[in-house]
Amino acid sequence: MRALVLRDLRLALRAGGGFGLGLAFLLVVVLLVPFGVGPDQALLRPVAPGILWVGALLAVLLSLERIFALDHEDGSLVLIMTAPIPGEGVALAKAGAHWLTTGVPITLAAPVLAVLLDLAPGAHGWLLLSLAIGTPALSMIGTFGAAVTLGLRRGGLLLSLLVLPLYVPTLIFGAEVVRRGAEGQPLAVPLLMLGGITLGALALLPFATAWVLRVNLR
């Protein structure tokens, strides 16, 4: 599994569109919002948690189609699935590599970009924590969606339609953590719910992803 993760990281660095694409998209979202709603602090601060989480979610969504597509095109996905690694391990490795190339940079950059939306100073740490807990779920859910739409025409559009509804609970509780952190309210419930979603996704979806990959590669 470690070798597969390192291989995907090297491919992401060579091909581009991994580390930089998600960050560039999040930056564009954060820069455009003040033009749309106005630079008034009274307008920006209340919507900042939701905007940052929506931007992070969409930035993750941009690179989902690449999780299996390149390996499927050159035939290496068949070899990977017939290797001694279990299919569930392949799914976890792919999701882990995607999180390292997309989720981690977004998590680290979001608190810095939050200054542009005038996020409350006390909420920056909670934004970092919520993204650190929630983005693994986004990558795992996205890996499952990428497996379902593997080899389909216009798979990117179908992938978005499939994955976005599954992202909604993570978005709701992630943004709620930041909002409550900004207002000084109790955070236990949204944090536990966010962590539960991530743990549930990591526990269940590798099996579903491996099964879908086997069906699609027959």
Domain count, the chain: 1
Give the domain extent around 62: 2-216
CA atoms 24, 137, 155, 57: torsion sign = negative
| Three-class DSSP category at 185 | coil
**What gap in Å lies between CA 30 and CA 116, rounded to an integer?**
7
Can you give the pLDDT at residue 81? 81
Can you give the pLDDT at residue 18? 58
Can you give the pLDDT at residue 155? 67
Residue 30 neighbours by CB under 8 Å, 6+ apart: 51, 52, 55, 113, 114, 116, 117
Can you give the pLDDT at residue 17? 52
pLDDT by residue for the chain (218 residues), tens only, comes to 777 788 777 777 776 555 678 888 999 999 898 888 877 777 888 899 999 999 999 999 988 888 887 777 777 888 888 878 888 999 999 999 999 999 999 999 999 999 988 898 889 999 999 999 999 999 999 999 999 988 777 667 888 889 999 999 999 999 999 999 998 899 999 999 999 999 999 999 999 999 998 888 77
**What gap in Å lies between CA 99 and CA 104, rounded to an integer?**
6
Which helix or strand (DSSP H or E) is residue 186 part of?
none
DSSP calls for 89-151:
HHHHHHHHHHIIIIIHHHHHHHHHHGGGGT--GGGHHHHHHHHHHHHHHHHHHHHHHHHHTTT
Tell me the pTM: 0.91
**What gap in Å lies between CA 176 and CA 158, rounded to an integer?**
28
**What gap in Å lies between CA 55 and CA 168, rounded to an integer?**
13
